[in-house]
Structure formats: C-alpha cells, structure tokens
Structure 1
Amino acid sequence: MTQGQPVEEEPAGIRLRVLSYNVHGQRDDTAALAAAVRGAEPDVVIVQEGPRRFRWRHKCAALADRLGLVVAGGGLPALGNLLLTSLRVRVHRTWYRQFPLTPGRHMRGAAFAECTVGRARFVLAGSHLSTDAAERPGQAALLKEDLAAVRLPLIVGADLNENSGGAAWRTIADGLTDTAVAADRSDRCTYPCANPRDRIDALFVSPQIVVTDYDVVDTEQTRRASDHFPVLVDLLLPVPLAHA
C-alpha cells in the first residue's frame, strides 16, 4: 500500500496522468525505457509484459524504482500485468484474474487496484490479451465481467492485440470511453515502433472521467525502449460532493 500525498482539487475534478505501456519484457533499451517514463511524469503506469517469473517480486520492485514509482500490484498473479503508481496515489486493495490456459499458448491475465488520489476514488485495471484471434474474445468476455462488477470510475489500460474493429476490442470498449477517440486522435498507431500501422494498445475510462489530453509517445527514446509506443493520457477524475 502506498501513502497518498496532499492533492489539490480543481472545480472540475482531480488531475491524473496515466501511461499504459507494453514494455516488451524489458528486452530492449532499459535506460531509454526509464528515461521515457520518467520524462512523461505519470501518476500511474499500467504495464504489460512486466516481470512474471523467477524472482518476480524483486524484478517488479526494481522496475518500479527505475521508473521512479512504486508497485501497486501485479506481477506473477496477474501474469505479467503490473500496476505502478506515484506517491500521489493511495492503493487500498488489489485483485487479479488469470484466463484459462490454452495448450501451447502463453497464459494471460489482468490486474486491478482500488485507489484514491485526494478525494477521488477509482479502479485501475490492466490486461494483455492473446495474439490468437480465436482465443481473444473469450478472454475479453471474462475481463469485461470483472470490469462490469466495478462500481467506481474505471481506468483500463490494455494491449488488446487487435485494432478497434475487432470483437474483443468492442467487448472491452462497450460502455467506456476510448480516450483516443475522445481526443480525436484515433489515427495514432501504437505498434510496431519500427513501422507503426496498428492501434492495438488502448486506454478506456468510465464516462464520468474527463479526457483532457491524449498522446502516443513517439520519440527516439520510445523507439529504443520497446516494440510498442506508450499511450499517455491526462484525465480529470470526479470527486464526491462535499457534505453541507
């Protein structure tokens, strides 16, 4: 659990900067990865392909430290999905989902964390769906069950391994705001860095969360750091009305 720091509220809500990033198992330039994330100054990083095997706790903590953040949850229980936060964010509880294993395929899952920043309470979720088109819709349906059970505002970052027309994408997006569409930037591709042609990395939020900015961070650093570009989104979180 992390201890939140004082947060200033604005009339429209509380600002939160979120980065969703498939880090390619840290198999690329890790110095560039650290510099890119630190330079973005996020409050939250939703990681796909984070540590999930031998000494995974140590590796998750080392990655968080390298990025200037702390571990909220994830790693092995979420099969490589990892949630990192700054000290602005207080983490209250975490839980996980592991999708059924298909023989010959990598196990996939999801990580969840209930958080607050100031008086704004929300749930973070991160997932990475299968590269197999036949397997993805079932995983998306299970993930959607978990998301639908949440009664707080949601922030969902995921590598869906398909573009926005796909069945799995439509399942996850149903009832949520696609932040790229909200910012009129759905033409920005996230994969692969060498020749960007697909938008398979997404960040969705509940309708009551306001999207104030969206970017696919395409820089010299991010091209060295992973085979995916990170998605960086600025949000305004709703806060409960003060009691009279």
Structure 2
Amino acid sequence: MTESSGVPLRVVSYNVHGQRDDAAALAAVVRGAAPDVVIVQEGPRRFRWRHKSAALAESFGLVVAGGGLPALGNLLLTSLRVRVLATRCQQFPLTPGRHLRGAAYADCVVAGGARFTLAGSHLSTDPAERPGQAALFKRELDAAATPVVAGADLNEGPDAPAWATIARGLTDAAVAADRADRLTYSCADPRRRIDALFVDPRITVVDYDVVDTPQTRRASDHFPVLVDLLLPVTG
C-alpha cells in the first residue's frame, strides 16, 4: 500500500520504568523517533501527576492526550498532527495485596482525515490476574467505533492466554512485519517479547522495530516499540 491509499501514523509504545533511569536518554530516544503518538506505560500516577505528565510530554516534544492517575500510569501523548476528540480511563478490579492496573483510551483524528482509537494498558505481573484484565481491556477495544491502535506491556509473551485474548481479531504489528523475534525486555538481558502493538486489520503495518541502542538501554528497562502505520481514511 502506498501513502496515497492511507494516512501515515508513527507510533511508539514504551514502558518508561517510572522515569527512574536516564531521563535525558529517554527524551532523546522519543524525540529521535519523531512519533505522532506515544503510548506510555509506567507514567506519572502519584503526587503532582498532571505536572509530571505535562513535563514528560514536553521533553518528548508532544502534548498530553489522556491517561495518568485515572488510568493508573497509562498515558497517551500526541503530536500536533493528531486531534483528540474524547478520552476515557479504566481501572481494573483490585486484588488485595496487588498493584492497581488500568488502561487509557482516546478517540483521535490525524491530519489527512483518518479517525482511530488510541489505547494503552499495562497488565499485572500476576498470571492469575492477567486474563481477567485482558478481557476487560479487550471488551473496550472491541467496542471502539473507529480502528484501534493499542499498545501494552502485557507482562507475558505471545504464547500466553492474556496475550491471546487481546490479539484476537487484531493484527500483531511484529508478526505482520515478520519481526516477532525482536525481544522487548529486559534491556539488561533481553529474553522476552512482552510489549506489543495491536492494530485493526484495516490498518496497514508499514514497518516495525524494537529500538535497541546504547541510548535505549540507559533510558528504561524496556525497549521502545516503534511502528509505522497507514490508517484508512474514515468518513
């Protein structure tokens, strides 16, 4: 497909490790990718989270679209190419003794006339919790009125049940680009692909990369997922 038959969108999905690593490297990594949208996991969610979210977005050259504390650290950032029409947040039921988890959603339109639903989530490290959280996230994705672009840290690989739930009916961007062998975690010792980008089948995956450089190894404990898409023009 050529760009004339779709609207380009560059996406980064990135677990930023609570910004506990090299903040300058983190900002440089994202700015260097020049994305239209960034789906952040482990973004600001505590004291002064609005200010911290805005500062993170500014360091990336982007603006806050939605998420943050109400989405329990899932944050959606956009460039000025993308107009945000509506946002919503989701919190998954709390299992006593565990961390709260959730998701963020934004209804967007990108310059060129393509509407899409941007979504991000971060599932539990507990395998007993993940399937239920995945089902709740998937229910919202299935209900979206426009083509979905969903990034997540699933805390499990493609052969596990929560991953299968979310992937059902969607395109795994890594598989579409024949790069499912690219591992996302951990930067210190890459062994697993637990970070993913899923898209509506109407969306074309042009390119996919897991950015492994000395800079990304300083920026977080996860590598960023960088994907180029072509969105269908919607009426």
Instruction: Give the C-alpha shift of residue 104 in structure 1.
Output: 1.0
Alignment of 1:1-244 (within 5 A): 10-117=3-110, 118-240=112-234
The secondary structure found in structure 1 opposite 2:164 is: helix
In 2, Cα distance between equivalents of 1:176 and 1:240: 18
In 2, Cα distance between equivalents of 1:153 and 1:51: 27
In 2, Cα distance between equivalents of 1:23 and 1:11: 34
Instruction: Give the C-alpha shift of residue 33 in structure 1.
Output: 0.1
In 1, Cα distance between equivalents of 2:113 and 2:208: 24
Instruction: Give the C-alpha shift of residue 240 in structure 1.
Output: 3.2
In 1, Cα distance between equivalents of 2:101 and 2:64: 20
In 1, Cα distance between equivalents of 2:234 and 2:154: 32
Instruction: Give the C-alpha shift of residue 37 in structure 1.
Output: 0.4
Instruction: Give the C-alpha shift of residue 208 in structure 1.
Output: 0.3
TM-score normalised by L of structure 1? 0.94
Instruction: Give the C-alpha shift of residue 186 in structure 1.
Output: 0.1
In 1, Cα distance between equivalents of 2:173 and 2:5: 18
The secondary structure found in structure 2 opposite 1:175 is: coil
Instruction: Give the C-alpha shift of residue 10 in structure 1.
Output: 3.7
Instruction: Give the C-alpha shift of residue 50 in structure 1.
Output: 0.1
In 1, Cα distance between equivalents of 2:178 and 2:3: 24
Instruction: Give the C-alpha shift of residue 143 in structure 1.
Output: 0.7
When the two structures are aligned, how many residues end up with a matched partner?
A: 233
TM-score normalised by L of structure 2? 0.98
Find runs of 4+ consecutive structure 1 residues off by over 6 angstroms. Answer: none
| 1:103 aligned partner, one-letter code | P
In 1, Cα distance between equivalents of 2:72 and 2:117: 19
Extract unaligned runs of 5+ from structure 1: 1-8
Instruction: Give the C-alpha shift of residue 12 in structure 1.
Output: 1.2
In 2, Cα distance between equivalents of 1:10 and 1:200: 30
In 1, Cα distance between equivalents of 2:200 and 2:127: 26
The secondary structure found in structure 2 opposite 1:11 is: helix
| 2:211 aligned partner, one-letter code | V
The secondary structure found in structure 2 opposite 1:71 is: strand
Percent identity, aligned pairs only, is 76
Instruction: Give the C-alpha shift of residue 11 in structure 1.
Output: 2.1
In 2, Cα distance between equivalents of 1:240 and 1:87: 19
